[in-house]
């Protein structure tokens, strides 16, 4: 087999953070029958300590169809670089040496790529916020929801969009302060990070025409919202109005019943009792 025509990096894979190959790949690269490679590996087991064999040769089973269409399990081995070198040490034949060198170079190339990936991951992880910082952001989200009535999902979505991140738990540490300031700000105004307290405790001018709902606590603006198009009414007044509306509806129903008495459709005794006795909660 021509070693130049083989991409040996396809024969080397990563498993559990270590470059490995398989007995099938070795057989293909050296142009040998797989059963002979298996026999050679099992011969090695009789000559090396068990710890070496277990560490560098892992038995796997691969399911495939046979010529009759039935699924059968075939035995293969997964080899580390050390296991591969020990296996092919005595291989001879045309291009055997160049194949060995190409295969070992592939192991080294994959190992270097793995090292670079692990180094990048280490740098990335070390620059992310800690679990304690993530928990602080979660509490800040809960506090903002209680303060503004916004649902959690909306707050998280706004935070992720503002910082251009996928998840606050995988947030670069340099975004941490900005995240907290965003969560302390009022809805729809993430740039208003500074305190709303101004000289003489006078609220800053809101640069927009219209009607605004502003909540101030301890001379500090905690919430502001443009309420153009909405009617404002005190909650207790609204509840009283709602009760009176229901009572008036009952009053009208009673009048309708009394009017039907003329046509003999209702008990005339209702005419002798004041409406207030029949509906004591009615306000006239």
Confidence band of 236 (pLDDT split at 50, 70, 90): confident
pLDDT mean over 264-274? 59
CA–CA separation, 21 and 79 (whole Å) = 5
Residue, of 259 and 172, whose pLDDT is higher: 172
- Tell me the per-residue pLDDT of 157-195, one tens digit each, with 9 for 90 and over: 888 888 888 777 778 888 888 888 888 876 654 444 333
17-21, 105-109, 228-232 — which is least confidently predicted? Answer: 228-232
18-32, 159-173, 203-217 — which is least confidently predicted? Answer: 203-217
Residue, of 232 and 128, whose pLDDT is higher: 128
Q: What is the pTM of this model?
A: 0.42
Mode of pairing for the β-strands spanning 220-226 and 19-22: unpaired
- Tell me the per-residue pLDDT of 125-153, one tens digit each, with 9 for 90 and over: 557 888 888 889 888 988 888 888 888 87
Confidence band of 2 (pLDDT split at 50, 70, 90): very low
Contacts for 87 with CB less than 8 Å, ≥ 6 apart:
26, 37, 40, 41, 44, 79
CA–CA separation, 160 and 179 (whole Å) = 9
pLDDT (0 to 100) of residue 4: 43
**Smallest Cα–Cα separation from 51: which of 80, 19, 20, 21?**
80
50-54, 161-165, 241-245, 268-272 — which is least confidently predicted? Answer: 268-272
Residue, of 207 and 194, whose pLDDT is higher: 207
Q: Tokens 């809101």 belong to which residue?
A: 206
- The answer to whether the Cα torsion of 16, 18, 23, 29 is positive or negative is positive
Residue, of 8 and 87, whose pLDDT is higher: 87
Using the predicted structure, report yes or no on whether residue 52 has a pLDDT greater than 80.
yes
pLDDT mean over 77-102? 91
pLDDT (0 to 100) of residue 197: 40
């Amino acid at each position: 087999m021509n070693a130049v025509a083989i991409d040996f990096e396809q024969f080397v894979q990563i498993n559990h953070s270590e470059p490995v190959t398989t007995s099938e790949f070795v057989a293909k690269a050296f142009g040998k029958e797989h059963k002979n490679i298996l026999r050679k590996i099992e011969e090695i087991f009789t000559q090396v300590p068990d710890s070496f064999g277990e560490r560098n040769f892992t038995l796997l089973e691969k399911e495939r169809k046979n010529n009759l269409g039935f699924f059968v399990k075939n035995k293969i081995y997964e080899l580390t670089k050390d296991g591969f070198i020990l296996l092919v040490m005595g291989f001879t034949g045309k291009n055997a040496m160049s194949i060995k060198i190409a295969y070992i170079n592939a192991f080294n190339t994959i190992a270097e790529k793995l090292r670079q990936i692990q180094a990048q991951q280490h740098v990335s992880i070390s620059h992310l916020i800690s679990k304690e910082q993530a928990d602080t952001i979660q509490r800040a989200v809960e506090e903002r929801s209680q303060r503004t009535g916004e649902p959690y999902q909306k707050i998280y979505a706004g935070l992720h969009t503002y910082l251009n991140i996928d998840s606050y738990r995988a947030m670069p540490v340099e975004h941490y302060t900005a995240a907290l300031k965003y969560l302390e700000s009022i809805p729809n105004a993430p740039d208003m990070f500074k305190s709303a307290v101004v000289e003489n405790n006078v609220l800053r001018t809101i640069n927009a025409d219209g009607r605004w709902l502003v909540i101030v606590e301890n001379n500090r603006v905690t919430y502001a919202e443009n309420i153009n198009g909405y009617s404002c009414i005190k909650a207790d007044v609204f509840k009283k109005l709602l009760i009176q509306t229901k009572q008036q509806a009952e009053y009208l129903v009673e009048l309708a019943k009394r009017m039907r008495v003329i046509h003999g459709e209702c008990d005339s005794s209702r005419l002798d009792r004041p409406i207030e006795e029949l509906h004591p909660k009615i306000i006239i």
